[in-house]
Amino acid sequence: MTTNTVYKEVLMDHYRNPRNFSDVSQSEAVHRGSNPRCGDDIKIGVDFDGDNIGKIVFQGRGCSVCMASASMMTESVTGASKNEVLELTEQLREWFDEKQGDTPAPLETLFALDALRQYPARRRCVLLAWDALESIIQVE
């Protein structure tokens, strides 16, 4: 089994069984992200615990990449501080823009996104949920 096959399996698992996919209407802060190019439309809902992400959920519809990335994001940032999330988001953007190389994913939980780095058209799909979360944090 190749590494790309494993990555694709992880991505498809997050797409088919998204983690923290739930109604955002009761969340402390909500931000919507959309990508008309491929029809992605999601909302991120966050409850803070002081300066940290206490609970994060998302809802909406989108391509498999967008939904998998949102699911992976919710698992990766729960409990993280606002500054840690902003740093991680920037690292993810830089890592994704690299497209190639041996640089590891910013977090092990995001390793499966490596399979998408060679497709620039998928960048927006990967980052949509992250951009929405960043908008929430910058307002708070």
More confident residue, 76 or 97: 76
Cα 97 from Cα 103, distance rounded (Å):
11
More confident residue, 7 or 33: 33
Tell me: the pLDDT tens digits for 40-51? Answer: 999 999 999 999
Provide the CATH number for the domain around residue 44. Answer: 3.90.1010.10
* Helix runs in 1-140, H state only: 3-16, 64-77, 82-98, 123-139
Whose tokens are 């998928």? That residue is 122
- How many independent structural domains does the chain possess? 1
pLDDT band at 69 (very low <50, low <70, confident <90, very high): very high
* 124: containing domain: 3-139
pLDDT tops 90 at residue 6? no
pLDDT at 3: 63
Residue of 43, 81, 66 whose CA lies nearest to 116: 66
